[in-house]
Amino acid sequence: QQQVKQSPQSLIVQKGGISIINCAYENTAFDYFPWYQQFPGKGPALLIAIRPDVSEKKEGRFTISFNKSAKQFSLHIMDSQPGDSATYFCAASLSGGYQKVTFGTGTKLQVIP
């Protein structure tokens, strides 16, 4: 009920291409869906987040698409760059009081020149 399933586990994309990472959740009560970016040897950094009342949120080259009926959300990285090479984690949480954040297992993205 609390799981967030993330795919693919790893992804290789050519520079300039679109990187797509998918996540699926089970708990329909989740109402906050963040994405984190983690470079090797560093802590994860909050990248972008979405609430289920919108179907899409865009920040620069990063876009979250949200499908409430399918209980799925995805991260799209447009015009992928070598500097985007990192591990990306999706997550889901409730937003009232203290709530545990449920993380996906991560996707290692490599953008090749």
Query: In terms of CB distance, is 42 or 68 closer to another protein?
Result: 42
Closest distance of CB 96 from another protein, Å: 8
CB 109 within 8 A of CB 88: yes
Q: Is 103 in the site for another protein (CB under 8 A)?
A: yes
Closest distance of CB 57 from another protein, Å: 14
Closest distance of CB 85 from another protein, Å: 15
Q: Is 54 in the site for another protein (CB under 8 A)?
A: no
Handedness of CA 69, 37, 11, 14 (dihedral sign): positive
Q: Is 5 in the site for another protein (CB under 8 A)?
A: no
The amino acid occupying position 76 is H
